Chain A
């Protein structure tokens, strides 16, 4: 069964909260806790949506996004990406991401955004 969402987020507690609320909405979600291996996880899971933290250990969200967008597989390269930011870099991050959500966010805002991106 196709994965709806792959979330790449190193903050375990944030990831658990997101997994709970999006799981309640019926989305199939998997977590990857590190920038390292992030692009491989996307290629392996081929999710319908990637939720990507900007500041990750080992490899930043910006780097992962740039590599995704330059993937030779056009379908993979155009995977929708929702970028989570904790810093004032939303403009730069938004250039290649399909949507940007600044931390801290309201759960309902996340739910609405994900629904719009997946439906």
Chain B
């Protein structure tokens, strides 16, 4: 049966169903519609085509909106119904509906058909949501780490509390230790749960602040107001990070005061020359330039990462693309610097939106625990909008993005996962 004849069957069947539902005789309806009873009989048995004008007349006589009888609407409904039924049929051999009878089913039981379609659509929407959440659960390092923290703390609390409640004659030394452990774990659980709730809340609103690091970034963007009064610092972890940040800023300001840095920045412009002139480490000069933002550096941003590449400070320059924590573009010169410590690396980078930034990256290594302790790496990248001061004029622009998942560059050699912007 071809498409055209299928739609006629539908229309004819629906006209007949409607007429019978109103208990009207074929002859009466035919007369009211201006056609012969024999012709209506042929239509109702799907043996004659029915044009849109006649459908309108019949609809008026049968007291229904004309689109209830129209071909296009029926075809669309049939297609939707077939699709819905096909999806449900994927569930197993027991679900094997008679697809060829979908038109008849729709015509005879429009309410059931509509319910079936609505159910299939809801199922599809829930599947999409599940995939999105599953992606987040399995790929989001922050969520994985936080959930692991919660489980670890709960495990410790459960085992320890059981010992105190159930074991007889626990020696005092152990009893005191277990009480201290419980106190420590309950605090840890409280902080982690708080951060987790804030994070999960953010699932509802794309772009919302949800990690302690992002709380600190929002707080910095607001001009570092008093920590106690800052609305952006919602979690204990966020407030702790903010305090640590302030303490480091104070130390660095003491080491390189504004009154010393500002004139040197104005006269030299180049961060390496500023560092040489002042006899200061380059990484200190870069951080202070991003914090003070003297003339020539008013729109400076700064990214800092540890040896694993995780961003520990994100103070973006206007328009520079920043991903969620843990998912940055591997082509950022920041990461080149990790492989070449103590070497200043300058590059112009260009975003997918064709915004250009000059960058200066520099990495350091240290052994704060002394000889034999772990070697800690840290890299930082000073970012200035445009092709200006921080980059060497001869450097070629590096095409960068935010993170692979939302980057539209199809031919990127550094891609580590497909982009949702390039799918199909």
Contact = CB atoms under 8 A, between A and B. Distances in A.
B155 A14 contact: yes
Contact of B155 (A21, A24, A86, A87): A86
A24 B170 CA distance: 10
Contact of B152 (A16, A18, A21, A103): A103
Interface string A14-58: 101110110010000000000000000000000000000001000
Given A24-B167, A107-B162, A16 B155 contact: no
Contacts of B155: 11, 14, 86, 103-105
A21 B147 CA distance: 26
Interface residues of B, number: 23
Contact of B156 (A14, A20, A24): A14
A101 to B, nearest CB: 10
A17 to B, nearest CB: 4
Interface stretch (B47-55, B176-184, B362-370, B386-394): B176-184
Contact of B163 (A11, A17, A105): A17
Contacts, number: 60
Nearest to A103: B155
A91 interface: no
Interface in B333-350: none
A106 B166 CA distance: 12
Contacts of B184: 13
A104 B352 CA distance: 46
A83 B156 CA distance: 16
B356 to A, nearest CB: 40
Interface in B116-172: 144, 147-148, 151-152, 154-160, 162-163, 166-167, 170
Contacts of A11: 152, 155-156
Contact of B162 (A14, A16, A55, A106): A106
Interface residues of A, number: 17
A16 B151 CA distance: 16
B148 A17 contact: no
Interface string B168-203: 001000100110010011000000000000000000
A103 B154 CA distance: 8
Given A13-B181, A17-B178, A86 B152 contact: yes
Contacts of B167: 20-21, 24
A17 B152 contact: no
A107 B160 CA distance: 9
Nearest to B158: A104
Given A13-B185, A107-B163, A55 B148 contact: yes
Contacts of B185: 13
B144 to A, nearest CB: 8
Nearest to B184: A13
B158 A21 contact: no
A55 B177 CA distance: 25
Contacts of A18: 159
A55 B155 CA distance: 14
Interface of A: 11, 13-14, 16-18, 20-21, 24, 55, 86-87, 103-107
28 contacts: A11-B152, A11-B155, A13-B156, A13-B160, A13-B181, A14-B152, A14-B159, A16-B177, A16-B181, A17-B159, A20-B167, A20-B170, A21-B159, A21-B163, A21-B167, A86-B148, A86-B152, A87-B147, A87-B148, A103-B155, A104-B154, A104-B155, A104-B158, A104-B159, A105-B155, A106-B162, A107-B162, A107-B166
Interface of B: 144, 147-148, 151-152, 154-160, 162-163, 166-167, 170, 174, 177-178, 181, 184-185
Given A14-B155, A107-B166, 11 more contacts: A13-B181, A13-B184, A16-B177, A17-B156, A17-B178, A20-B178, A24-B167, A55-B148, A87-B148, A105-B158, A107-B159
